[in-house]
Chain A
Amino acid sequence: MNEISCRFSEPTRRGLLALLALAGAALPMAAQAQTALAPTAIGIGVPSQAQLGQLIPLQARLVGVGGVPIPKATIYFTSPTTFLNVTGDAVLAEAVTDAQGLATASWRATRTGGLTIQAEFRGDDRYAPAKAAAPLVVGGERQLYVQQVGVRIPALNTAPISGLPILARLWPGLSAWPIAVALLVVWSLYATVVALLWRIAAAGRSVPAVAQLPSLTAGTGSAEGAEVQQ
């Protein structure tokens, strides 16, 4: 393998080392200059009460010095949560501020009780972070889990005509119609057979009764009968 080597004269080497030392001293100063971020303020707007399962609008307004709106900043809406002994802020939604500094999102409340909703700007290379919080009480009781697995086929498992609330509400109960139709066809045929049996019985009534034929239990049948007894 070829070695790449570079040789400098002693004066050049010293000059380079001095230059590196100067640069090293200057870098922390540059970093300090960047930490001088513009202060920000954030306001949060959420309703004070909501129902379980309700879609809740979340708003936050981010402004800089003098109330100047800060656009294109990412705002995180969070809520303090504890799960399996781990505590932290669960992110509910995130949105980017518009020209008025307004970030809008929505979140569906999935548990009841008193919650704290936070709007958080995590800062960037120009603006300092900011955070605001507001209380929210979620009440009510309803089943949130709705089975939505599979393909929705109109007239099979969803209403055949959309836009009719009554039909949409009734259809879950009517969706078994293929099974009902199959059963109806089969049981109708059974009923037809029973009706035919009825007609067989009716046709027999018009014919004179049969005279008694030789009995199995008399005559030669007796020996036979004894022979085949199990």
Chain B
Amino acid sequence: MALEADGERGGDMVALKRTGRPGPEYIEGGWQPQLERRVLAPLAGTGPRYFLWLAFLIAVIGWAGFAYLQQWRRGLIVTGMRDRISWGLYITSFVFFIGISHAGTLLSAILRAVKATWQMSITRMAEFITVVALMVGALFPLIDLGRPDRLWNIVVFGRWQSPLLWDLLAIATYLTGSTLYLYLPLVPDFALCRDRLGPQAPAWQRHFFEIVALGWRGTPEQQRLLEHAMTIMMVVIIPVAVSVHTVISWIFSMSLREPFNSTVFGAYFVAGAIFSGIAAIIVLMAVLRRLLRLEAYITERQFVNLGFLLAALALIMVYMNLSEYVTTGYKMNADTAVHFQQLMLGRFAGLFWFYIFGGLVVPGLIMLFPRTRTIRGVVVAATLVLVAMWIERYLIVVGGFSVPLMPYQPAQYAPTWVEWSILAGAFALFALIISVFTKLFPVVSIWEVVEYHQLEAATAVHRPRHGRDRQSAREGTAAVPVTVLAQEATQ
């Protein structure tokens, strides 16, 4: 089988053997039909555990809805926020979700732009994280408003000079662009679903794929147009993604608060967003890989490569923190002294040092040693980074507001059950949309993986290194893109 023979993909087999389950090479047929079956199988059948999982998520969201109803009726007094600390868990989570939305599209676009083929099987998940995280993250400013009916005031009375309005425009632009960028490579896979799911599939599903496949037949003209569209989006989405988190950082750094008074905030926020976004992709990859049994297509190679990116971003974050704290600490005006005292020695010290060591140092060390540089190690590192980056946003928001603007005692903030419930509901909503997505769309970009295999096989034909590679090349050339398969079927 091609996978077995592929010298560079030895990790695949290791991963397969670790799971103790039979991989695609044990199922009848070539690797491509197996890939299609494996990836499209969740769309064709659903077990009771899936519905139990959905019921659990809906219950959590329902509880969050009840909590929000309390806030709607009684106002923000039911939260721990007051006049001195008026941003809390909601804005923390807003920045966090917008942050993890970054890696998806941005990473996918950058890796596509540099023609990194190893990421072909994970781009779909990465792009989907972007859209879902943006949808969930954008809810938090509305929740934080207390009076969401006043949202219209931003449209009517919004000032172009305000970073809040820039933020609204940037997020709307990014969400639209990310949705387009997610949709484009889905078109050939939608066509595959349309052609493969068969008459047993529910009528709504067949109609749905018929519409969203846009009559895709894989003709050269259609492929050319799709490639053109993807190139445009690939180029435009990178600056848009960077602009979104830069603008979010400006909401902080353009206000007159000492802890936010920083020139590196834009770059710091963008780096932090990519950092947490990569971690989110790794965790989601691990979960879907296990649940959908995609071990053969999402391999140790993808985890380790993303782990290296994570480690590189950890170093950048260390540099940013150092640059920020050393320059402000060297001058150490009165407000900075209060901020540093609270952050490093006072009430935020536990969280701060967890962020530094748990979020930056330990993940870097995990990736440093080959012994820990495994799928499990990378997932542990990514989980640490996710938790630490949420804490980092909490420290920026609540820690920033905890420095008094006038000579009074620093205010205290403790989130209430309403805030925690709404936060839990947001995470449940995030998981719910992704769970539903796995039943509506292929989580792996089948046609891109096929093309990647073709490319590798062709390379192996031209430069055979040993017997296993030659065998791989022969089998690889036998594999044809889905689009070609579809055309053949018409003959």
Chain A residues 194 to 230 lying within 8 A of chain B, measured CB to CB, are: 194, 196-197, 199-201, 203-205, 207-218, 220-221, 224-230
Closest A residue by C-beta to B213: A204
B169 within 8 A of A: yes
| Cα–Cα, bound, A98→B176 (Å) | 70
| Cα–Cα, bound, A12→B234 (Å) | 107
Could you tell me if B199 and A215 are in contact, using CB atoms closer than 8 angstroms?
yes
Closest B residue by C-beta to A211: B489
Once A189-B236, A190-B180 are accepted as A-B contacts, the answer to whether A220 and B29 lie under 8 Å apart by CB is yes
A54 within 8 A of B: no
Once A217-B198, A224-B27, A229-B50 are accepted as A-B contacts, the answer to whether A193 and B184 lie under 8 Å apart by CB is yes
Could you tell me if B44 and A221 are in contact, using CB atoms closer than 8 angstroms?
yes
Could you tell me if A216 and B184 are in contact, using CB atoms closer than 8 angstroms?
no
Q: Which 7 A-B pairs have the closest CB atoms?
A: A215-B198, A204-B215, A229-B47, A176-B160, A225-B45, A217-B200, A196-B229
Name the segment of B216-224, B257-265, B381-389, B413-421 touching the other chain: B216-224
| A and B contact pairs by CB, cutoff 8 A, 7 listed | A187-B173, A189-B236, A196-B228, A217-B198, A221-B44, A225-B41, A230-B49
Q: Which residues of A contact B485 (CB under 8 A)?
A: 213
A35 within 8 A of B: no
Could you tell me if A204 and B199 are in contact, using CB atoms closer than 8 angstroms?
no
| Cα–Cα, bound, A126→B427 (Å) | 84
- A196-B232, A210-B195, A224-B37 are known contacts; what are 16 more A-B pairs with Cβ within 8 Å? A183-B173, A186-B173, A190-B180, A193-B184, A197-B187, A203-B222, A207-B217, A207-B219, A211-B489, A213-B195, A215-B200, A216-B40, A216-B43, A220-B27, A221-B44, A226-B45
Could you tell me if B37 and A208 are in contact, using CB atoms closer than 8 angstroms?
no
Q: How far is the CB of A153 from chain B (nearest CB, A)?
A: 14
Could you tell me if B222 and A221 are in contact, using CB atoms closer than 8 angstroms?
no
Interface footprint category on B: 35 or more
Could you tell me if B292 and A230 are in contact, using CB atoms closer than 8 angstroms?
yes
A175 within 8 A of B: yes
A161 within 8 A of B: no
Could you tell me if A216 and B44 are in contact, using CB atoms closer than 8 angstroms?
yes
| Cα–Cα, bound, A71→B169 (Å) | 64
Contact with B along A149-190 (1 / 0, CB 8 A): 000000000000000000000000001100100010011011
| Cα–Cα, bound, A218→B169 (Å) | 48
Q: Which residues of A contact B201 (CB under 8 A)?
A: 215, 217
B293 within 8 A of A: yes
Q: How far is the CB of A165 from chain B (nearest CB, A)?
A: 22
Could you tell me if B233 and A193 are in contact, using CB atoms closer than 8 angstroms?
yes
Could you tell me if B160 and A186 are in contact, using CB atoms closer than 8 angstroms?
no
| Cα–Cα, bound, A183→B160 (Å) | 13
Per a CB cutoff under 8 Å, which of A197, A224, A230 touches B53? Answer: A230
Q: How far is the CB of A230 from chain B (nearest CB, A)?
A: 4
A192 within 8 A of B: yes
| Cα–Cα, bound, A208→B240 (Å) | 39
Q: Which residues of B contact A197 (CB under 8 A)?
A: 184, 187, 214, 229
Once A210-B195, A211-B490, A218-B200 are accepted as A-B contacts, the answer to whether A228 and B160 lie under 8 Å apart by CB is no
B300 within 8 A of A: no
Q: How far is the CB of A183 from chain B (nearest CB, A)?
A: 6
| Cα–Cα, bound, A200→B221 (Å) | 8
